Structure 1
């Protein structure tokens, strides 16, 4: 993230590309993070328009409303909440499947 500290900014993340072979990748704009995903409850269930959980529908990470609200914590900021709510969702789903 901070690049090569042996160089002064902004050259820490920039450098010469003077030897091949060269490869290219098309880059396009996309959603890196979200503060507008679906609302969830404490069990990671998606909350529907009625305000009630939608049975069997769960969301984590960038697919759910950000746990930090409208603040973006930086690259990888949704990984921890995704792992946590993924675990919670799996546990909740497992409890409800075994009861049927």
Structure 2
């Protein structure tokens, strides 16, 4: 049986999304240093979680390489991150 691990949601403004989810009653946890933070997590008791990702916080060079399609040529992991950096979809993974 397959189990849901997490849902990845693209947000346009991470700080605003964190505040919105906190207002709805969720505990949010930044995924990395606050200065360069590009994602936050919302954990549930069944070990699933929502990950909020703000691709505009990715380094410029990274976003530029993704737009050129270069990241996708570096393997599956880079292809996945390149998709995050260039998509406009709300639910991306």
TM-score (norm 2): 0.23
Q: Which has the larger radius of gyration?
A: 1
Q: Which has the higher strand share?
A: 2
* Greater fraction helix: 2
Structure with more contact order per residue of length (Cα contacts < 8 Å, sep ≥ 6): 2
**TM-score where L is the length of structure 1:** 0.22
